[in-house]
Amino acid sequence: MMPAPQSKGPRRPLSVRGARPATRLGGNSRVRIAVGRILLIGALLIAGVKLVQVQGIQADELSQQAQKQRTTRQDIPAERGSILDRNGNQLAFSIEVRALYILPQRARKTWDDARAAKPADHPLSYDDHAREMAGFISSTLGPEVNGEKTDEETIYQQLVQDISYEVLVSEAEPAKAAKIVEKYPAEIGSEYRSKRIYPNGELASNVIGAANWRQDEKPPTTQGILGLESAQDNLLAGRMGRRIVDTMSGDDTVVIPNTERELVKPQPGKSLELTIDIDTQYAVQRMVTDYAKKSGAKNASAVVLDSRTGEIVAMANDKTYDPADFGKSSEDQRRNGAVASNFEPGSVNKIVTAAAAVELGLFKPDDVLQVPGSIRVADRVIRDAWTHGTVPMSFTGVFARSSNVGTLQAAQQVGQERYAEMLQKFGLGSRTQSGVPAEESGVVPPLNQWSGSTFGNLPIGQGLSMTLLQMTGMYQAIANDGLRIPPRLIRAEIGEEGARSEKPRPEGVRVVSPETAKTVRDMFRSVTQSDPRDANQNGTGKAAALPGYQIAGKTGTAQQIDPVCKCYSQSQYWITFAGILPADNPRYVVGIMLDAPNGTQFSSSAAPLFHDIAAYLTQRFQVPMSAEQTPFVQLQM
C-alpha cells in the first residue's frame, strides 16, 4: 500500500484574513517626508542656537533690559525735622500721610480676566466691585479729607475711569490707608507723603517760612519754600533712603501696588530750636498789628532781644500769612520787615554820637552846651524840631529833648573819622549774621565818599539806612555794658533720639567801655522823663515810661524820600523807638519801626507801643522792679 501524502499544516478559517502586502511607496511621498525631517532638524538647530545666545552670550544684557522694564529705583523721603521755640514748643512739624491711588485700566483688566477664569469666585462685574470698594473707602475715610471729597460717588467715579493712574486721596491717615490696602491689595496702592503742620497758624510765619510736599520734584519730597524752612532746608530735610518698586511700563512714577522693597532706610532731618519765645512772640505780634492799625502805618515791626545774649526773643510784623496756605499770600505779607526793610532811623541813631563823645571824654552828662536854633553844615542848615533861640542844655538834655543842633555840635567834636569808626563798631552797614533769612545789610556811605553835608545828616539818623534788627542791636551793646553780641535766631540743633547740639554763641564786639555804656544808659533814661510843671524838662519819649522800672531809650523820626521829587518828604516819616528794660539792670532791648504812620493821635510816636511791650515782658519773665526810680535831671537850664 502506498503511504498517504504528508499534510502542510492546519488550514486557516475562512473568516481570518492575512496581512495586506505593503504598498509600494511612491517617489513624491518619500521626498515630502525627507524635506519635513530636514526642516524639523533645521528648526531645532536654529532654536538651539538662539537658546545658547539668549542664555549664554546675551543673558546679562537681556536680564538687565527686562529688569529696567519692570523695576524702578526710587528715593524714599526722610522725615523732616521740626522747628521749636526756646522752650520746646512746636512751631512747625511734619506728620506722615498716605496718598491712595489706583491703576483703573489695569484693575479692570485684572478683575475681568480673573472673572473669566473663575466666574464663581468673581460673581460681580468690575463696576459692581468698584461700587463695593468705593463704599468701603468712603466709610473708612469719611466724606472729606483735608478738603478732598471722599464720598462714595466721588470715589466710585475715580475707580471706573478709563485712565492708567488716579490718586483717590492725597493725605489719608496711615492707619486708615493700611486698612483699605489690606482689603483691596490688588487694586489700591499706598504712597508715602509728608504733611507740614503749623500749629500756631500765622504766628512768626515771616520768620519760620513755609514748606510743603512737592510731588513734581524728582524725587517727590517736602521742600522748604520760604523763610527758615527754605534757608535751613538741607538740615531739616535729612537724607533720603532708597527702594526698588515695580512700575507700569513706560511710566516710572506709577508704582504697581504692593511691589515695594526697601533697600536703604532714610535718615531723618534735624530739628531746630529757636531763641524765640512763643508766648512773647504771640503777644508782641498782636500788639504790633493793633498799633499799626491805630497809627495808620503802612507796615510795622518790633524786635525783642535778650540784652545779655543777643538772642531774638520775638520778631514780629503786622503783616503775616498762613504758611499752610502760603499761595494765597502777597509778597508784602511774606516779607519779614524786621530784617528785609532798610530805613533811615532818625534820632534813634543819636546814641552813636552820645557813646562816642562820652567814650572819648569830650562831654559829661551834666556839661552844658549853648544850643542855637539852627546850625550850618556845608551847604545845609539843620534846625531842631521846635523853634527856639540859643538855649543852654545839659549834654543829657540834648538827647532827652532830641536836639539835632546839639547832637551835631557834639558830633563835630568827635570828628568824622572817629564817628565813622563808631558806626562800624555798632555793626551798621553789615549783616548781623543772625540766621534770620533774607536779612539786608543797610547802607552806610564809606568815609571817602562823604560830601560836605554828609556829616550834617548821619549823626541825626539821615543819609544812612539800617534794619530794625541792626537798630535794636545798637542798643543791646549799650545795655550789655558796651559789648555788642551779634543777634542770633537758632539756639540749637536736635538730632536723632533728642541729641541736642547748642550752636556756639557769637563772639562779642567791644563798642565802648562798661563805664561809658552805663553813663549813656543813665543819660537816656531822661528820654522818658516827664515834668508837668515845665515842658522844657520833658523827654520826647515820656509815653514809654513804665511805673516801677527805669527805662532808657530814644525816639526817632526820619523823613522818607518822596518818589516824585526825589527829595525828603514833608509828610511821610519813619517813626522809631529803641529802649532798654530795666535801665539799671538790663534784661531786654526792644526796637520798633513804623512805616509812614498817618492821621491819628498814635502816628507821631512809637513810645506807647514800647510801653505795652515792656509791661508784658516784666510780667512774662517776672522782671524785678528797679531798686529806685529814675532821678530827675535838668534838661534845659
Q: How far is CA 417 from CA 318, 356, 413, 422, 427, in A?
A: 38, 11, 11, 9, 16
Contact between 478 and 517 under an 8 Å Cβ cutoff? The reply is yes
- For residue 453 the three cell numbers come to 553835608
Alpha helices in 56-213, H assignment, sequence order: 59-70, 104-117, 126-141, 152-159, 174-183, 205-208
- For residue 338 the three cell numbers come to 524786621
- For residue 16 the three cell numbers come to 481570518
As beta bridge partners, residue 166 has 102
- For residue 455 the three cell numbers come to 556829616
∠ Cα 491 494 499 (to 5°): 120
As beta bridge partners, residue 222 has 213
Contact between 162 and 175 under an 8 Å Cβ cutoff? The reply is no
**How do 261-264 and 241-248 pair as beta strands?**
antiparallel
For CA atoms 227, 228, 232, 235, the dihedral sign is negative
| CA distance linking residue 237 with residue 268, whole number of Å | 7
Q: Give the rounded distance of the alpha carbon of 347 from its chain centre.
A: 34
SS3 content of the chain, % helix, strand, coil (to 5): 35, 25, 35
Q: Supply the DSSP string of 425-440, one letter for each residue.
A: HTTTTS----S-TT--
420 φψ region: left (φ > 0), alpha (ψ -120 to 50), beta (else): alpha
CA atoms within 13 A on the CB side of 180: 31
- For residue 386 the three cell numbers come to 521846635
The residue annotated as part of the active site, out of 301, 347, 403, 605, is 347
Please state whether the peptide bond connecting residue 219 to the residue before it is cis, i.e. omega within 30 degrees of 0.
yes
What's the 3-state SS for 297-325? Answer: CCEEEEEEEECCCCEEEEEEECCCCCHHH
The residue with cell 548821619 is 458
Map residue 161 onto helix, strand or coil. Answer: coil
Contact between 362 and 476 under an 8 Å Cβ cutoff? The reply is no
Contact between 454 and 463 under an 8 Å Cβ cutoff? The reply is yes
Told to judge if 347 belongs to the known catalytic residues of this protein, a careful annotator would answer yes
The residue with cell 475715580 is 158
Sheet strands (E) in 311-409:
312-317, 368-371, 374-377, 380-383, 391-394
H-helix or E-strand spanning residue 478: helix 468-479
Residue 176: count of CB within 10 angstroms of its CB: 17
Cα radius of gyration rounded to whole Å, the chain: 42
Q: Spell out the residues 6+ positions from residue 361 whose beta carbon is closer than 8 angstroms to its own.
A: none
Which residues belong to the active site?
347
